Amino acid sequence: MAALLAVKDHCIAIKESVRTPSDYRAAYLSRTDLTVIQQAVGGSSQVERIYGLTSLQKGMLYHSIAEPESTAYRNQNIFIGQGYADEHMVKQALKLLAIRHEVLRTAIIHKDLSMPKQVVIREREVEYERTDLTGVEATVQAEMVEAIAHDQIQRGFDLAQDPLLRVHHVVLSKDGYQLIWNFHHIIMDGWCLSTVYGEFNRLYKALQKGALTSDLKEQVIKDKQDQTSYEDYIEWLEKQDHEQGLSYWSDVLAGYEEVAEIKPVHTPQESEEQVQRLAITLTPEDRLRIKELTSAHQMTVSNVVETAWGVVLQAYSGQKDVVFGKVTSGRQSDVRGIEDIVGLFINTIPVRVTSKEGMSVMRLLKEMQQQASESEQYAYCSLAEIQAQTEQKQHLIQVLY
């Protein structure tokens, strides 16, 4: 009885509410983990949400720790604007944007935790910088903008401490500016960029027209409440039958003994450049033929291109049975309004293309169409876990589509 009275007195003495792991929907969150998280973000009042990571996010976190100098997951987009962009309004629009989309206030915390977590911080803002190059010669301006963009990429991100979206506003003249957006891929994919930048533009234009920040904030909070969150997607992901999914992939890859790759014909020179882009434009006649083919057989252009890529890979690897990786949007999940949620949804899954003796192109297309349809149901599975079941392990996929 004395012990119960002591507990009662202790609870009454606490003047502020104290959150426990049960107040968050995060799976496998211990009291110790919660304390570590609260200390990492500046106190319990700063913790808005806590949830786990997707398999792809875990992979990105691993590589960010193992290869801290790598720029692989540092994304940059430069938006060119006409006219004059008011600094105060740009900052206000970014603040509202961070309120609207909680992934822009997310920290990825792993040190001293039993499992890594992503934590939505209540008052985190998008980082903003401004450089005024008004009056600088055009050629020098271009060099300086390039240097700023390069420095932003090289700077990187501390996933636990830094805002994972930062914007550098470069003023070129009274008639032009550039916004250099830098974000870590771990918080969102390319699908989201048009949503996020489009909403930033809408908010900025509303401020330009005289809208009050308080009114816009009220509307942003309402929009946020009406929208399904990234946390809901994480919960959906954790409820999926991963054993059934991995069983499906095991059947797809059964008996595959090769590694399909396109080897260089000569030793390339050393270079810091990681990516080059080559664009090939189809003729109007080719586009029409593909359109007629897909319409006649109820296929998608993606079905045709995937199959064609498989045949190309067969030719270059000298194998009739090949596997390559396909990046999927990840938005086929049964989560309300998933098309509009900002976050990282993409995943990579295997595609197996097997040509048999005497097989027609149409038959191969039909088989690939069926595989694509079935695979979509299990696109939530971790590529690392899929590869772990194979003989090739992490070497299974050497080519991405």
Domain ranges (residues) in the chain: 17-238, 240-263+279-395
- Amino acid in the structure at residue 145: V
* CA distances, 325 to each of 61, 120, 232, 280 (Å): 20, 32, 27, 21
Q: What is the pLDDT of residue 68?
A: 92
Nearest to 78, CA basis, from 175, 174, 171, 181: 181
CA atoms of 219 and 215, how far apart (whole Å): 6
Pick the CATH number of 240-263+279-395 from 3.30.559.30, 3.30.70.20, 3.60.110.10, 2.60.40.10: 3.30.559.30
The C-alpha atoms of residue 41 and residue 52 are separated, in whole angstroms, by 16
Burial class, 110, CB count within 10 angstroms (exposed 0-12 / middle 13-18 / buried 19+): middle
Which residues partner with 106 through β-bridges? 120
Tell me whether domains 17-238 and 240-263+279-395 share a fold: yes
CB 260 within 8 A of CB 352: no
CA distance 237 to 81: 39
Nearest to 347 by CA among 313, 301, 378: 378
Cβ-count burial of 171 within 10 angstroms (0-12 exposed, 13-18 middle, 19+ buried)?
Answer: middle
Q: In this structure, which amino acid lies at residue 337?
A: G
Low-confidence ranges of the chain (pLDDT < 70): none
Burial class (CB in 10 A: 0-12, 13-18, 19+), 41: buried
pLDDT of the residue at 17: 72
> Degrees (nearest 5) of the Cα angle 27, 332, 330?
65
Separation CA 54–CA 118 (nearest Å): 10
Q: Between 3.30.70.120, 3.30.559.10, 3.40.50.300, 3.40.50.620, what CATH number should domain 17-238 receive? A: 3.30.559.10
Alpha-carbon span 255 to 258, nearest angstrom: 9
* pTM of the model as a whole: 0.87
Contacts 24+ apart (CB under 8 A), 145-149: 145/78, 145/170, 145/172, 145/178, 145/180, 148/180, 149/76, 149/78, 149/180
Under a CB-based contact definition with an 8 Å cutoff, are residues 69 and 80 in contact?
Answer: no
Greatest Cα pair distance in the chain:
88
Helices (H), 320-359: none
Q: In whole angstroms, what separates CA 303 from the centre of its chain?
A: 24
